[in-house]
């Protein structure tokens, strides 16, 4: 039964056309976000950075697409306490993958994801000058920063404004509460200067504290659409353009060079044996997606969160309600 459903999804051309690879180089980080599942003192992987070149090539070769976005992250890839030699490794990775992509007719965008809390900028300046990668930063208004680190974040965001592609925000329950109570300092600056992308929270050991309900997600999305209409992916909801599923189609490479479809399944929940196709099937059955008038325009949610701990509190699909509001005259 599930294989038939998977065939339908594929036939309807809902899977992503652009490949995305997330490369976790190491878990060492200078911050300790409560919803993060990493060991922030662990430097394992710092000597394996160059090995990721062949792993990325292997992944792309196995899942060929004309365009790939490769995101290198930690931990914190620009942390002050990292040895300066990592920046030479970063440059080598950029050069090797860019050259290989050109030779094979593959457009490879290379990004480094950073929390932007660092003081030593020499290595980063050299990396940007020599290899020109794109930067992505993340923002958590609900518990990441103290006063000092927040000031550092703001200063670096402004300094590297021209290199930052986007600001990513995880939709945790505390973050949603911050936005709905209008208690988010510095967001207006971020909104005015960058693409903002809100992503679903993926479960970890503290998921009962951080996973929002379907009602909370619905109310938050509607609030953002009405008050910050440029934020992604919500800005795309009003466009009658086919949206493709992205959940669990992204390939994640871990510090030990293992890889798979989801960081959480590779780390915290290795005992989960349910295949990603089965999780998709669960979602599609529960929300009756194939009969929904919004199906072609909907990018779905996090299948793993739904599988691990259902956040559903009502029969109606919250995303369908969001699309109903978008298509009405109330926005």
- State the chain's mean pLDDT as an integer: 88
Q: Output the CA torsion sign for 295, 298, 303, 309.
A: negative
- Tell me if 307 is assigned to some domain: no
The CATH number linked to 177 is 3.20.20.70
Q: Where are the beta strands (DSSP E) in 120-270?
A: 134-138, 164-171, 195-200, 251-253, 259-260
30: domain range? 15-271
Q: In this structure, is residue 303 part of a structural domain?
A: no
Residue 298, domain member (yes or no): no
- Are 38 and 29 in contact by the 8 Å Cβ rule? The answer is yes
Residue 32 falls within a domain, yes or no? yes
What is the Cα–Cα distance from 116 to 77, expressed in whole angstroms?
10
The answer to whether position 308 is within a domain reads: no
pLDDT tens digits, one per residue of 127-165: 999 999 999 999 999 989 999 999 999 999 999 999 999
Position with higher pLDDT, 123 vs 243: 123
Tally the domains of the chain: 1
Q: What is the pLDDT of residues 17-35, one digit of tens each?
A: 788 999 999 999 999 887 8
User: What's the pLDDT band for 203 if we cut at 50, 70, 90?
Assistant: confident
| 207 in a structural domain | yes
Cα 54–chain centre separation: 23
Is the residue at 9 inside a domain? Answer: no
Local structure of 175: helix, strand or coil? helix
Q: Is residue 297 assigned to a domain?
A: no
| pTM recorded for the entire structure | 0.91
């Amino acid at each position: 039964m599930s294989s038939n459903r998977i065939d339908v999804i594929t036939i309807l051309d809902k899977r992503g056309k652009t490949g995305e690879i997330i490369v976790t180089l190491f878990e060492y980080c200078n911050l300790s976000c409560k919803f993060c599942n990493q060991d922030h003192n662990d430097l394992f992987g710092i000597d394996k950075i160059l090995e990721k070149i062949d792993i990325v090539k292997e992944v792309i070769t196995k899942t060929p697409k004309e365009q790939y976005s490769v995101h290198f992250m930690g931990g914190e890839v620009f942390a002050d306490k990292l040895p300066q030699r990592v920046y030479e490794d970063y440059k080598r990775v950029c050069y090797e993958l860019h050259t290989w992509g050109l030779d094979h007719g593959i457009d490879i965008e290379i990004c480094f994801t950073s929390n932007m809390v660092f003081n030593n900028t020499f290595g980063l300046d050299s990396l940007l000058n020599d290899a020109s990668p794109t930067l992505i930063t993340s923002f958590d208004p609900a518990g990441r920063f103290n006063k000092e680190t927040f000031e550092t974040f703001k200063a670096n965001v402004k300094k590297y404004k021209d290199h930052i592609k986007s600001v990513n925000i995880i939709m945790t329950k505390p973050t949603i509460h911050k936005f709905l109570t209008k208690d988010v300092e510095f967001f207006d600056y971020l909104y005015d200067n960058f693409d903002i992308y809100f992503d679903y929270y993926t479960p970890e050991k503290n998921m009962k504290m951080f996973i929002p309900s379907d009602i909370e997600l619905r109310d938050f999305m509607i609030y953002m659409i009405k008050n910050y209409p440029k934020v992604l992916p919500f800005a795309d909801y009003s466009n009658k353009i086919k949206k493709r599923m992205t959940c669990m189609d992204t390939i994640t490479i871990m510090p030990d060079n293992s890889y798979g479809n989801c960081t959480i399944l590779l780390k915290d929940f290795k005992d989960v044996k349910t295949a990603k196709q089965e999780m998709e099937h669960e979602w599609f059955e529960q929300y009756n997606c194939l009969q929904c008038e919004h199906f072609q325009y909907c990018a779905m949610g996090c299948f793993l969160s739904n599988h691990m701990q259902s956040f559903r509190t009502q029969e109606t699909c919250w995303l369908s309600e969001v699309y109903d509001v978008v298509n009405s005259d109330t926005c």
